Amino acid sequence: MSVSGKTRASEKFAELSERIKKAEQRIEAAQTQAKAEVERSASEARASAQAQADKLRESADKGQDHVSASWNDMQKSWSKHMAKMHDDLHDTKSAFDATVAVNDAEDAEGDAYAAIDFAYGAVEEAEASVLDAISAWMEADELAQKA
């Protein structure tokens, strides 16, 4: 990986860390906020997540030459997942039965934990991918020097 590539990867991890800190702060603040404020924050977070999913989908649609097909498939799959989650949430908002509301809340909580676990795995995979890229560039540099 070139020096600029290493710097860019490091910067992207720093941005990810800052985004996680912001999410932690919003979640902590939500514990003491009124329901309307929490719903507004959730709506903003959902819009941000959808924008990120759209960005991933656009990247995948461009068929980036140096991105594996499996990552393109994952980006498209994530975008579809986000759309389904949005639709499911909209359907949930129309439920008025208390039992249904409790079940929906339990499902939403389960989805939240699953999303966190997925993100954790994604960060680990991103780290491994960056390290693989650095190693591959080192190998390419070594071979170029021998040529």
Q: Name the DSSP class of 33.
A: S
pLDDT of residue 93: 58
CA angle, 75 as apex, 71 and 78 as ends, to 5°? 135
* Residues in CB range of 1: below 8 A, 6 or more apart: 9, 130, 133, 134, 136, 137
Rounded to whole angstroms, the Cα distance separating 129 from 137 reads: 12
Q: What is the gyration radius of the CA atoms in the chain, in angstroms?
A: 20
Contact 60, 93 (CB under 8 A): no
Rounded to whole angstroms, the Cα distance separating 53 from 78 reads: 7
The region, left, alpha or beta by phi > 0 then psi within -120 to 50, assigned to residue 138 is alpha
pLDDT of residue 122: 85
Instruction: Of 59, 22, 72, give the one whose Cα is nearest residue 44.
Output: 22
Does the pLDDT at position 134 exceed 80? yes
- Judge if pTM exceeds 0.75: no
pLDDT tens-digit map of 53-62: 777 777 666 6
